[in-house]
Amino acid sequence: MKKSSYKDLVIAITYQCNSRCRMCNIWRKNAAGGLKAEDYNKIPTGLSNINITGGEPFLHPELVEIVKTVHNRCPKAAIIISTNGFATELIIKQTEKIKKFISNLGLAVSLDGLGGKHDEIRGMAGGFDKVMSTIAGLKKIGLKNLRLAFTLGDYNIAELAKIYNLSRELGLEMTLAAVHSGENYFSANNRIEKKQEMAKALDLLIRRELMSLSIKRWLRAYFTFGLKEFILTGQRILPDYSGRYNLFVAPDGDIYPSDAADKKIGNLRLGFTNLKPVSAAENPSWMICTARTAIRKNWPKFIFWLVKAHYESSANK
C-alpha cells in the first residue's frame, strides 16, 4: 500500500501522565524510553489529520521538536494536540513556541463535567479550575483552534449538555467520544450499562447541532448519531478502515490499526511500507480518528441521513 493511502494518524508520544482518569490506566504504564523527535521523520507523507496525544504530551521533553518534525514531514496536515489541561504554565509556554511554526495549531482540552465532577473523573483535585485557567491562557496568546474534548461514560451522562452549553458560551467547539476498552492503549475494560439514557442525551445533542446552518456541525451531528448507534448495537454505521487509512503509533513506535486495537501490525522504525494486512477491525470502535475517513468515503450516506433528519425534525415541529 502506498504511503499516501494513510490519512489519519494518532501518535501517542508518551504514556507519562499527571492525571488518574477512571476510564484509563495509561498512567500505570512504564513511561521510560520512547522515540526521539527524528524518529518521526518516518511517518507517511500525505496525511490529512494528525493527533498528538499521550499520556500527557506536554510532559514529553521533546514535544516542540516532535511537532516540528511531524509538521515538516506533513506540512498540509491538520495537527491537533490532546491535553488534560492540568499543567497550565507548561502548556501555554510550549504552545507559544509551536504557534511560531504552525499558525493553525489545534488543541483539544479534556473536560468531562463541571467543577468537582470533572475532578472526580480525572482524579485531580482542582482539575476543573486548572482546565479553565489553561483555556483562558490559550485564548490570551491567540490560539484560535481550541476545543473542549468530552468523554462520555455512565457516570457523566448528565454532564454532556452542561459541557456542550459551556463550549457555546466560551465560543469553542466540543468534540465527543465515549469510553472504549482495550488492553494496549487504555489498559481498561470500560462497560456502558446506561445505553438508553445515553442515547437520549446524544439525541438532544444531535438536534441542537442540526439546528445550525454549519456543515461542520451537521457532520458532527452525524458522527454523534454514529456514536449513539455504536453504543446501542455495538456496530458501526459505516465500514472500519483502521489499518488501511488510519493508524495509531505508540510511544515505543509500535503501530496498531487504531488506539482501540490490541494487535500490533508494525513499528515506526521499520517504516510503513511493510505493515501486516488488516482484514477487519480487531476491536470495533467509533471515534473521530476511525470515523472521519469512513464518513468522507461514504458521503452519500451522510447526505441521505442529513436530509432525512431535517425532514423528520420539521415534521415533528
Low-confidence spans in the chain with pLDDT less than 50: 1-3
- Report residue 156 as a C-alpha cell: 457523566
pLDDT at residue 2, as a whole number: 45
Query: Closest Cα partner for 254 from 89, 39, 37, 3?
Result: 39
Q: SS3 for 210-234, per residue? A: HCCCCHHHHHHHHHHHHHHHHHHHC
pLDDT in tens, 224-262: 999 999 999 999 999 999 998 999 999 999 999 998 888
pLDDT at 128: 97
pLDDT at 282: 65
Question: How high is the pLDDT of residue 1?
Answer: 38
CATH no. for 3-315: 3.20.20.70
Q: How big is the chain by its Cα radius of gyration, in Å?
A: 19
pLDDT at residue 213 in the model: 92
Q: What is the pTM of this model?
A: 0.93
